[in-house]
Amino acid sequence: MKFSRRSLVLGGVAATAGLAATQLTRPRPVAAQNRGNVNLYSARHYDSDNDLYDTFTDETGIRVNLLEGDADELLERIKAEGDNSPADVFITVDAGRLWQAQRDGIFADTASDVLEANIPENLRHPDGQWFGLTKRARVFMYNKDMVDPSDLSTYEALADSRWRGQILTRSSSNIYSMSLVASLIAAHGERETEAWARALVGNFARDPEGNDRAQIEAAASGLGGLAIANTYYLPRYHRSKGGDAAQQAIFDQLGVFFPNQGEGQRGTHVNISGAGVVQTSPRKENAVRFLEYLSGLQAQTFFADANNEYPVNPDAPINSIISSFGPFTEDEVNVENYGRYQADAVRLMDRAGWV
């Protein structure tokens, strides 16, 4: 199996399994044992991350070989490769997917004083199987002509009939929806969360469709007054290439509201992208060094500026556009709960009619 610094996008689970059967059960070639490499399987699809990897190589001499694909496909590939997998690090978005990898035995327990110092406890696995690298808050983005922000308060309050026909969100099959509902189950239990979900569905502006950008654009157009979306999507309209006036108008039309900020409330739902050392990694020292680098001040600042994400390292600055949304208190529940309650969340949304 050959790696390169150029991304290779996987074509599907079936193709992955076939490739594993024909190529990856062979003994690993001697070249793959080169301790000057770290082989990264990544479900983060941001070209800007390549600059980080190049800087890591420049500073350490360790070459980052990147294999990029869908999270589920990459996990299937690692499992199919088994003990012969050349993967050292697996990166994905959403704590729910990290939990899936943890459940499937993909990650090794990793001890690192650097990672523990740089990453808050609620954003990493207690045994070091995975570590959060970036944060994204799931907030309300409201049409300034349709919604008075003083009427907004909590996720729970979206069940109120005053929001009938106003709410735009992703489908129940999306991992972000699953994780939000899982966090509510962790906070309130399944029965109360199902009642909330049923009422929320009754307030949808339309059947869920599209990604977060689709919700943002629908809210800006007035299809509904309020979109539930991750913070890092909105700045893309402000930073559109060529200064597109229509894109800028979408940014200007929407306000950002952080839910659950009142006294005694738990804070805004936060999700992560994160990574762990693969259990069968032949280069664990390089893998840990790579993760430590990604948690450090330089890389964390880069994540914040290049992709408008919140750094997990509390010492890293927040970029100017994101910081313009204002400070907020985040829910400090361990994000592992998003995976722990994921199956319950899926069944609950199905019963509630959240398509």
The contacts of residue 127 (CB under 8 Å, 6+ apart) are 109
261 plus 283 within the same structural domain: no
pLDDT tens column, 205-255: 999 999 999 999 999 999 999 999 999 999 999 966 566 899 999 999 999
pLDDT for res 37: 95
Query: Interhelix angle for 175-188 vs 190-202, to 10°?
Result: 130
6 has pLDDT over 70? no
pLDDT tens column, 20-60: 332 332 233 333 344 599 999 999 988 889 999 999 999 99
Among 91, 88, 42, 39, residue whose Cα is nearest residue 65 = 39
119 plus 188 within the same structural domain: no
For residue 143, give the amino acid letter. Answer: N
Mean pLDDT of 183-198: 98
As a whole number, the mean pLDDT across the chain is: 90
Distance CA 154, CA 284 (A): 43
For 48, phi then psi, to 5°, come to -60, -25
- DSSP at 126: T
CA distances from 101 to 45, 62, 128, 129, 281 (A): 18, 25, 13, 9, 15
16 has pLDDT over 80? no
DSSP conformation letters of 159-212: GSGGGTTTEE---TTSHHHHHHHHHHHHHH-HHHHHHHHHHHHHTBSSS--S-H
352 has pLDDT over 70? yes
111 plus 158 within the same structural domain: no
Helices (H) and strands (E) in the chain, counts: 15, 9
> Which range of residues forms the domain containing residue 119?
13-135+271-319
Distance CA 238, CA 252 (A): 8
Q: How many domains does the chain have?
A: 2
pLDDT for res 12: 41
134 has pLDDT over 90? yes
pLDDT for res 200: 98
pLDDT tens column, 264-301: 999 999 999 999 999 999 999 999 999 999 999 999 99
Tell me whether residue 4 is in a domain: no
130 plus 144 within the same structural domain: no
Global pTM value: 0.87
207 plus 341 within the same structural domain: yes
180 plus 260 within the same structural domain: yes
pLDDT for res 242: 63
Tell me whether residue 5 is in a domain: no
For residue 83, give the amino acid letter. Answer: D
Between 3-17, 151-165, 333-347, the lowest mean confidence (pLDDT) is in: 3-17
